[in-house]
């Protein structure tokens, strides 16, 4: 049994959905769970619907949602003939759920309404793609993942109830393979025990696929993306970036920690726990080898380069030249936890503490105000953090040549620079 996941870019047009159909037609051997995201840009469009609704702009929210509806009905009409009416009925049921909510007045937190609206994007896309695959001879069973994945009510970043979800997978998914070769469902979403929709946070669709792979003891998981493979650097920033044909789980977690746009660590963990390999393949050219991520020891890797831009340096120092001690640093880390801030670089001196964080104006202001109760705080914006793993002196020299280095930290495997 294998798990496939197709992201929004792979289903953002009629042509891309037809391409997905060809990929599935060529890979019909063995049972599969197929996880599909919302069509490209749909999540952004639905976020605007939720924002307008929460701001009390009901008519604007309904008008924006009408655009989303028409886009999906148009896609279904173009792709489907014999399965169109059934698909349209399912879509209109989903539309009605959202419109009922939009006719109400907001009385709960924004994050609750965000999840109730945004989750519909995955339901729309999977309804259309399931119907299209069935119409083109790729037999599959559509299911609503909210009936399977139980979560808490931490809206927009919900945690999964693993025991309950495993029970539902055993009861509601495994028996279906006796009749259907493919189970097709949504990524990114789940539901509470009160049947309120939730979303699983960043890279939630990859995570959904990993949860199913773990619970079904899958042979492998494949994420279909619009890149040839995982690269050693972002090719938009570094044109000489090279493909990485294989990585291990630990290396991917390290890359993600430093800011590389690869696979989120929460996706890796369920796979790592059972030794399930993860393949990253290009949906534009499925014949390319892509990247395999596994548990094995790797040969020497080329330097892996991550450049995080839009960084802010906060320099906090004692007012009377006394030491910045454990109580100061402990309080700062408590603030990081409270404000959901992950420092990208920190350095502790005798009378100062430096931290580099993403440029989020609201969080920077709150952090600076709280820290200023005990310390002098200076803020410097417009910086970048350059991280190089498996570095060589030659590569480091090439990368920082001509740049202003404000801070440098180095270990045996990794070197980091704060660049002005």
Cα angle 297, 301, 305; round to 5: 130
Q: What average pLDDT does this structure show over 197-217? A: 95
**304, 246 contact by CB (below 8 A):** no
388: enclosing H helix or E strand: strand 376-389
| Beta bridge mates, 416 | 387, 409
Indicate the range of 10-19, 357-366, 411-420 predicted with least confidence: 357-366
Q: Whole-model pTM above 0.85? A: yes
pLDDT at 321: 67
Q: What is the residue-wise DSSP string for 343-385?
A: -SEEEE-SSEEEEEEE--HHHHHHHHHHHTTTSEEEEEEEEEE
DSSP-assigned beta bridge partners for residue 221: 3, 278
List pLDDT tens digits, range 100-149: 999 999 999 999 999 999 999 999 999 999 999 999 999 999 999 999 99
Helix (H) or strand (E) holding 317: strand 304-317
Sheet holding 304-317, edge to edge: 345-348, 352-358, 304-317, 376-389, 414-419, 405-410
Strand 291-294 with 278-282, pairing: antiparallel
**CATH T-level topology, domain 304-419:** VC0802-like (3.30.2130)
The percent of residues in the chain predicted with pLDDT above 90, rounded, is 83
Element (H, E) at 400: helix 393-400
> Average pLDDT of 25-39?
96
Q: What was the pLDDT predicted at 373?
A: 85
Residue 22 has pLDDT above 80, yes or no: yes
Could you tell me the pLDDT band of residue 323, with boundaries at 50, 70 and 90?
Answer: low
Whole-number pLDDT of residue 324 = 65
| Residue boundaries of the structural domains of the chain | 2-226, 304-419
What residues pair up with 383 in beta bridges, in sequence order?
A: 311
CATH number corresponding to 2-226: 3.40.1160.10
């Amino acid at each position: 049994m294998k798990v496939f996941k197709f992201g929004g870019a792979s289903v953002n047009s009629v042509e891309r959905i037809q391409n997905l159909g060809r990929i599935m037609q060529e890979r019909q051997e063995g049972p599969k769970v197929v996880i599909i995201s919302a069509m490209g840009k749909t999540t952004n469009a639905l976020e605007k619907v939720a924002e307008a609704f929460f701001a009390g702009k009901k008519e604007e929210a309904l008008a924006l949602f009408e655009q989303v509806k028409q886009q999906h009905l148009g896609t279904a009409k173009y792709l489907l003939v014999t399965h169109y009416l059934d698909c349209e009925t399912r879509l209109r049921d989903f539309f009605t759920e959202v419109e009922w909510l939009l006719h109400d007045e907001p009385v709960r937190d924004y994050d609750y309404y965000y999840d109730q609206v945004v989750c519909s994007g995955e339901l729309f896309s999977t309804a259309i793609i399931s119907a299209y695959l069935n119409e083109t001879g790729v037999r599959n069973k559509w299911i609503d993942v909210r009936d399977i994945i139980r979560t808490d009510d931490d809206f927009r970043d919900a945690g999964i109830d693993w025991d309950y979800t495993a029970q539902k997978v055993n009861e509601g998914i495994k028996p279906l393979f006796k009749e259907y070769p493919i189970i097709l469902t949504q990524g990114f979403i789940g539901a509470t025990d009160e049947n309120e929709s939730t979303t699983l946070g960043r890279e939630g669709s990859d995570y959904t696929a990993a949860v199913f792979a773990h619970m079904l003891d899958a042979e492998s998981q494949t994420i279909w993306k619009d890149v040839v493979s995982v690269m050693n650097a972002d090719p938009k920033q570094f044109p000489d970036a090279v493909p990485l044909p294989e990585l291990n789980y630990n290396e991917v977690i390290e890359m993600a920690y430093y800011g590389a746009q690869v696979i989120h660590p929460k996706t890796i963990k369920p796979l790592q726990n059972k030794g399930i390999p993860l393949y990253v393949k290009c949906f534009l050219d499925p014949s390319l080898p892509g990247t395999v991520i596994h548990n094995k020891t790797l040969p020497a890797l080329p330097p892996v380069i991550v450049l995080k831009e839009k960084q802010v340096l906060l320099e906090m120092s004692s007012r009377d030249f006394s030491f910045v001690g454990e109580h100061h640093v402990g309080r700062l880390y408590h603030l990081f936890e409270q404000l959901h801030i992950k420092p990208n670089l920190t350095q502790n001196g005798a009378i100062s503490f430096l931290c580099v964080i993403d440029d989020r104006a609201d969080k920077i202001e709150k952090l600076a105000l709280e820290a200023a109760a005990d310390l002098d705080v200076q803020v410097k914006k417009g910086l970048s953090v350059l991280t190089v793993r498996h570095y060589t002196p030659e590569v480091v020299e090439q990368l920082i040549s001509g740049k202003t280095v404000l801070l440098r930290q180095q270990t045996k495997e990794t070197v980091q620079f704060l660049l002005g």
